[in-house]
Structure 1
Amino acid sequence: MFSEIGIALWSALLATSLATGPSSYQDGVSFYKGFDLSSLNIQEDGGAIYKDTSKNNATRPAEAILEGMNTVRLRLWVHPVVPFDDGYYETYNLQYVTTLAKRFHSQGYHIYLDYHFSDYWADPQKQYQPKEWPTTLKPLAKTLRNYVSRTMKSLSDAGVDLSIVSLGNEIRDGMLWPLGRVYPFTESEAERVANFSNLATLYSAARKGVDDAVSAGVHKPLVMIHIDNGYNLTLQENWFGALTSAGVATSEWDIFGFSMYPFYGTDATLKNLKTTLNAIAGRYKKPIHVVETDWPNQCSGPDAPELSEPSIPVSAKGQIEWVQDIAKVLKQVPNGLGQGLNYWEPAWLNLTSLGSACQSAILFTPDWSEFPKVTGYSLPSAKMMALI
């Protein structure tokens, strides 16, 4: 029989378990919410300043204006070089990311590192391997493993504890092309699994790199796999089914990360997102985050895309509504497995479209009257994370 002290200890442990939820929670966080602020140093170095309209236009750091967040997402490129075809600048390398990560980590934000295993943008349209890396599978896998371990160790040595690492960015069609390219909609399941073989080798190598870093004393992060089109259940079932059948154990990742944009097809509905997240949670019993999303505050003209939720207004109010609705979908996922939400690049003042055909999806109004200096005046939606 339990003693009175034993019963008290058991009751305390049970209460703690109920309060903290699934054991996959990291660093005491039950819901990660925040923004991708990868371009913030670029903006500031170019002379950008940010005004908080809720505080009489006081000049404040962007992260202070974006109230309510607890997480900052930062992308990392391997060896960015100048020039690219579009004249892109050198940035998002380890030195650049370390500077930002130290800034945010020192303020108590959780750092979510988004590996683009490329010298440039990595997304479903392009996943080209770094130019300096090997072009055969085994040496490439070894290089990848060492790179993950080395970069994590470097950030740790700089005083940054990573809470989340995403091994690849929107890797629907694989990563490190051409060797790691996959075709998730291949009709034959056997053929689909076969074409995931190289990706499975590369992903497992990256995952071993995380383990190597942790073994060397680095703070253990949660490991994410990030796929776009989180509303597409067929894609997610095909993709993860093929990856595991190709040899990647489900223990090799901790979190599902999905993108959810309203611009890329009218199937990107909240209803379809709910169906997908609930199905994936039911099958894999792992936490789920929506790690990229946005909503326009300006979107008109002949080239304006059809939005997947037309009842939500195109406005700052609509931005808040969209994010609140996604948070509701996440928080209804069974067993508390909906655990994170990130808005993509809300402070990028000279890329207001954020890759869509809308005029603006950021959370500030840019004023270019003193060009090249730009001032961003916050919209009410800048406080969105405080409302979820």
Structure 2
Amino acid sequence: MIRQTIACLFVLICALSCSKNNSGTKTTTTTSDTPDASASSFANGADVSWVTQMEASGYKFYNSSGTQEDLFAILGGLGINSIRLRVWVNPSGGWCNTADVLAKAKRAKAAGMNIMIDFHYSDTWADPGHQTVPAAWAGLDFTGLMNETYNYTLAVLDTLKAGGITPTWVQVGNEVSNGMLWPDGEASLNMKNFAWLVNCGYNATKAVFPNCKVIVHLANGYDNTTFRWLFDGLKSNGASWDVIGMSLYPTTSNYTTLDAECLSNMQDMVSRYGKQVMICEVGMEEDQPTITEAFLKDIIAKTKSVSGGLGVFYWEPECYNNWQGYGLGAFGSNGEPTAALSAF
């Protein structure tokens, strides 16, 4: 049956229900909602969203023996069992759009890996300093933004499902330390709006994949003050989520301090909200692989020690030779993985 426009309805307890208009439509059904790989083990993860663009630019990847090999096979051989993929609405060049994400997700599935889908709800990078509404959504009122958030999330996940992909996790927003889809969803200006947008993404995800875990992800995993403020606000405004996600980008000189603070924050999040936690992004200087390995071993051990600690994802480890100006990869100039990834 043809889908109709999604209505995001206000409810009396200030929670949000983003659901289909029930006049002649039917809810997405799922014959199998089992993740593509076993999600029972700790997630040794990597975000490799740049891989197709790098390959199109001539980059090649080599295993530790110097033999050219598919990136997913190389990572799998290093103990990586989970892949994170960002998705943008209408990005320049098409990289990280729905089709590109599906192609990468199929490669991850073929490698036997769990998959995380990271919705930025933007045409480009979303982070604590940038949460730009997609160009196609500009000018919409808040109800329109809620509808688009639900419908877009639903459409992307339906496409993945039709392509044989069942993600283990879905991130609703990226580094949403002050909300998303600004200014309407800017948390410091209107926490209730942000909570409703989170629920639009949450409910759309559950409509397609009921067993998928939905993540709300913030930057600076050591910053307990911001985490408490944001998640207290979401809770008081009726938002739903399953996992609290964190980024952590220390330097070689302060990682032990920030790791300890991040551990304390993870423990507090589990105790305070009864949710699981995950480190969705980490990275450190590419030219300091030995220290990076020590950092990774430390934060992996700390995350495992937390009741409800689900995993650690390295952000774009395959980058080398200053790809896009990014210097926190974990491959050397020869296109081979550095010692940093031995931590997995």
TM-score by length of structure 1 reads 0.74
Match of 2:227 in 1: 236
Distance (whole Å) between structure 2 residues aligned to residue 135 and residue 346 of structure 1: 37
1:164 counterpart = 2:131: no
Distance (whole Å) between structure 2 residues aligned to residue 137 and residue 75 of structure 1: 24
One-letter identity of the residue aligned with 2:340: S
Alignment partner of 2:118 out of 114, 117, 122? 114
One-letter identity of the residue aligned with 1:246: N
The CA deviation string for residues 359-378 of structure 1, in whole angstroms up to 9 with x for no partner, is: x32111225xxxxxxxx132
Match of 1:343 in 2: 314
Alignment partner of 1:71 out of 82, 88, 102? 82
- The equivalences for 1:100-111 within 5 A come to 100-111=104-115
Measured on the aligned residues, the alpha-carbon RMSD in Å equals 2.1
The CA deviation string for residues 190-248 of structure 1, in whole angstroms up to 9 with x for no partner, is: xxxx720111121111212113224xxxx631111001111011111111001111222
Going from structure 1 to structure 2, the CA distance change for 1:121 and 1:364 (only over 3 Å counts) comes to same
1:381 counterpart = 2:340: yes
Match of 1:180 in 2: 185
Gaps of 5+ in 2: 1-36
**Stretch moving more, 148-157 or 41-50:** 41-50
The CA deviation string for residues 47-94 of structure 1, in whole angstroms up to 9 with x for no partner, is: 1111223x2x1111222222101100000000113xxxxxxx431100
Going from structure 1 to structure 2, the CA distance change for 1:354 and 1:203 (only over 3 Å counts) comes to farther
Distance (whole Å) between structure 1 residues aligned to residue 332 and residue 39 of structure 2: 35
TM-score by length of structure 2 reads 0.83
Contact 1:122 1:128 in 2 (8 A): yes
1:147 counterpart = 2:152: yes
- Aligned residue pairs total 304
One-letter identity of the residue aligned with 2:82: T
The CA deviation string for residues 259-295 of structure 1, in whole angstroms up to 9 with x for no partner, is: 0111499596122112111111111222111110112
Contact 1:353 1:362 in 2 (8 A): no
Gaps of 5+ in 1: 1-25, 82-88, 184-193, 299-314, 368-375
Going from structure 1 to structure 2, the CA distance change for 1:277 and 1:354 (only over 3 Å counts) comes to farther
1:203 counterpart = 2:203: no
The CA deviation string for residues 275-321 of structure 1, in whole angstroms up to 9 with x for no partner, is: 111111111222111110112143xxxxxxxxxxxxxxxx2111111
- The equivalences for 1:1-388 within 5 A come to 27-53=38-64, 55=65, 57-66=66-75, 67-81=78-92, 89-133=93-137, 135-183=140-188, 195-214=190-209, 220-248=211-239, 252-263=240-251, 269-298=258-287, 315-333=288-306, 336-351=307-322, 355=326, 360-367=327-334, 376-385=335-344
Distance (whole Å) between structure 2 residues aligned to residue 235 and residue 265 of structure 1: 23
Distance (whole Å) between structure 2 residues aligned to residue 68 and residue 154 of structure 1: 29
Going from structure 1 to structure 2, the CA distance change for 1:245 and 1:151 (only over 3 Å counts) comes to same
